[in-house]
Amino acid sequence: MARILVAMSGGVDSSVAAALLQEQGHEVIGGFMQVFDYSKGCDDDFGSCCSPQDCADARRVAEILDFPFYTFNMEEVFKKKVIDYFIAEYLKGRTPNPCIYCNSALKFEYLLQKAVSFGADYIATGHYAITEQHETTVLKRGVDSTKDQSYFLFNLAPEQLKKILFPLGGFTKTEIREMARKYQLPIAEKEESQEICFVPDDDYGAFIEKNVEPKDIKKGNMKTEDGKVLCKHDGIHRFTIGQRKGLGVAMGYPAYVTKIDAESGDVIIGKKEGLYTTKLTVENLNFLDEKYLQKTNFDALVQIRYRSQARAGKVVLDEQGTAEVTLEEEVLSVTPGQAAVFYEEDRVIGGGWIVK
């Protein structure tokens, strides 16, 4: 049996992950990552993860299951590596995915270091994903297609993946809820968070404006696709490709953001038809299967956002490590700043960040 450091968020999934590992005979250590100072403007119960209430919930689960529990203060490094990245991306007219970046740049890297200090063999989380040991460690989709979180994990390093366990990958969310009740955990009926953990009211624009200088805000014009100026806007950080609500313009037809020009500050408004494409460019690639590093092109299933369906496509790599992706059918609202993840059936090949 192994000693395992479990990343506990205070929610149902990570709590059951810890309980399952303990039931299997492993020595479990619980760890909660405090990443944000919630005393600066929000209460304990706003519904996001990593709040003081979540920490208390995780600690209570550890007490009930009787294993050691520690809180790791990561506020400073979280701000530098995740919050600052989040803000910088929006200021460039892109729409970031901080959860993916947090996983690879902070969460797993930090926890693996902590695991060594505790003499642990592995770390574990409540992600719905599966790892299998073949010649290398293979990352696959979780069996619950409505909860699969392999998309968020594409950016892990292969050597990290060898030391990470995902105990929930073979179960459905319904089964995990039932297990939480069986273990008599107080979080069995706790609702899931749907928000970015450090933006509790889900108002990205206000959060960014609160954390940057006014000179950093890129204001400009809202224009039609043929160049007609409609009005001024208060900053490109308040828009994302495919956005329909909150545009403040009446066009006589359903209007969407179809382009954001970070240089000029122009936000282009058009019809939904202008959001469909079969082509995207992906940079900063990471491959979990090293054989793909040797290829110049390959076929893959491509997923462009967490909740979207993966589409068949061709991936062509250039000498600079950029991927030009052509999909077999059109997709809606390909958004710079988001991740494109490549699959071989249910196996994660790798992926990268959409730039156009």
Q: What residues have CB less than 8 Å from 23, skipping those under 6 apart?
A: none
Cβ atoms 87, 204 nearer than 8 A: no
What distance in Å separates the CA atoms of residue 325 and residue 187, rounded to the nearest whole number?
Answer: 43
Contacts 24+ apart (CB under 8 A), 180-186: 180/12, 180/15, 180/16, 180/19, 183/16, 183/19, 183/64, 183/65, 184/64, 185/12, 185/15, 185/16, 185/19, 185/61, 185/64, 186/57, 186/60, 186/61, 186/64
Which amino acid is located at 117 in the chain? S
Strands 229-233 and 256-260: unpaired
Q: Catalytic pick from 49, 50, 55, 102? A: 102
pLDDT above 70 (res 46): no
pLDDT (mean) for 61-68: 96
Q: What residues have CB less than 8 Å from 272, skipping those under 6 apart?
A: 254, 256, 332
pLDDT of residue 50: 60
What distance in Å separates the CA atoms of residue 251 and residue 129, rounded to the nearest whole number?
Answer: 44
| Entry pTM | 0.91
pLDDT tens, position by position, 193-236: 766 778 867 889 999 999 999 999 999 999 999 999 999 999 99
- CB neighbourhood size of 79 (10 A): 17
| Phi, psi at 151, each rounded to 5° | -55, -40
In the chain, beta strands by DSSP E: 3-7, 27-34, 69-73, 122-124, 129-133, 137-141, 164-165, 220-224, 229-233, 256-260, 267-270, 276-287, 297-303, 311-317, 323-332, 339-344, 347-354
Q: What residues have CB less than 8 Å from 214, skipping those under 6 apart?
A: none
Cβ atoms 106, 348 nearer than 8 A: no
pLDDT above 90 (res 355): yes
What distance in Å separates the CA atoms of residue 189 and residue 355, rounded to the nearest whole number?
Answer: 40
pLDDT tens, position by position, 280-303: 999 999 999 888 878 899 999 999
- Residue with the two structure tokens 């303990």: 22
pLDDT above 90 (res 36): no
Strands 3-7 and 27-34: parallel
pLDDT tens, position by position, 99-151: 898 888 788 989 999 999 999 999 999 999 999 988 889 999 999 999 999 99
- 41 pLDDT tier (thresholds 50, 70, 90): very low
Decide if 50 is catalytic. Answer: no
CA-nearest of 51, 308, 86 to 204 is 86
Strands 276-287 and 323-332: antiparallel
What distance in Å separates the CA atoms of residue 108 and residue 205, rounded to the nearest whole number?
Answer: 28
- 191 pLDDT tier (thresholds 50, 70, 90): confident
pLDDT of residue 316: 96
Q: Catalytic pick from 49, 99, 197, 231? A: 197
What distance in Å separates the CA atoms of residue 266 and residue 229, rounded to the nearest whole number?
Answer: 9
Q: In terms of residues, how long is the chain?
A: 356
| Phi, psi at 127, each rounded to 5° | -65, 145
pLDDT above 90 (res 321): no
Alpha-carbon dihedral 274, 276, 282, 287, rounded to 10 degrees = 160
- CB neighbourhood size of 217 (10 A): 17
pLDDT of residue 194: 66
pLDDT tens, position by position, 146-176: 999 999 999 999 999 999 999 999 999 999 9
What distance in Å separates the CA atoms of residue 351 and residue 344, rounded to the nearest whole number?
Answer: 12
What are the structural domains, with CATH classification, of the chain?
3-182 (3.40.50.620), 223-270 (2.30.30), 275-354 (2.40.30.10)
What distance in Å separates the CA atoms of residue 319 and residue 322, rounded to the nearest whole number?
Answer: 7
CA-nearest of 165, 163, 187, 162 to 176 is 187
Q: What residues have CB less than 8 Å from 299, skipping those under 6 apart?
A: 312, 313, 314, 315
Decide if 102 is catalytic. Answer: yes
